[in-house]
Chain A
């Protein structure tokens, strides 16, 4: 069975400081892992995707995530936050195995202070 836990519902950082959004998952198969971002009243946009090619995945806008199988984690990081990063972030596990299965985490709201 799949599950996704985003460990923080809200994260607040100052502009220019590092960002860490945490995600733990479980899956019965070999899933694909994603981070999506949703700005207010918008659809979701892909930040990055892991599909077993490399454990450190680089995404758009300076974000990256590291897949750690032993810890079943896929945490999202960015070295220096920008005001435009303020949004909701979703960690997602998806796979095709006996049909399509996908689980979204509950989301982490990122606040960026000037």
Chain B
């Protein structure tokens, strides 16, 4: 099993360019997540998808959009990149029932994005 895969691993953009980060999981998980990690900080939740067909905002959604393409895939789009979006982006998935306690999240290897 590959677990959670992310593409690309590295990306450099100019301010105003757009791009889509791809994420896929092969664990038949219901829930998927996008985080960003900045120096000296923990991960912050951008968007999540509790189940196929649903998406919801997390802590820092501004400047991003997401698509839950199917149960396996969850993409993150930057429509007009800004230098403040320079970060490492992690995708994660979990089994989840959607109530009460949370399940373990399994993380991808990350995408290092630089916006000039």
Listed in ascending order, the chain A residues whose CB lies under 8 Å from chain B are 4, 9, 30-32, 34, 36, 41-46, 49, 51-52, 90, 92, 94-96, 99-100, 102-107
Binds A, one of B62-70, B77-85, B101-109: B101-109
- In the docked arrangement, what's the CA distance between A52 and B101, Å? 9
| Given A43-B90, A44-B90, A100-B56: A95 in contact with B102 (beta carbons within 8 A) | yes
Question: CB within 8 Å of A: which of B36-92?
Answer: 40-45, 48, 50, 56, 58, 90, 92
Decide if B31 is an interface residue (CB 8 Å cutoff): yes
Most chain A C-beta atoms within 10 Å of own C-beta, residue among B42, B98, B108, B109: B42
Residue pair A102, B102 in contact (C-beta under 8 Å): yes
> Taking A43-B110, A44-B107 as contacts, is the C-beta distance between A31 and B42 under 8 angstroms?
no
Contact A43 B109 (CB under 8 A): yes
B1 within 8 A of A: no
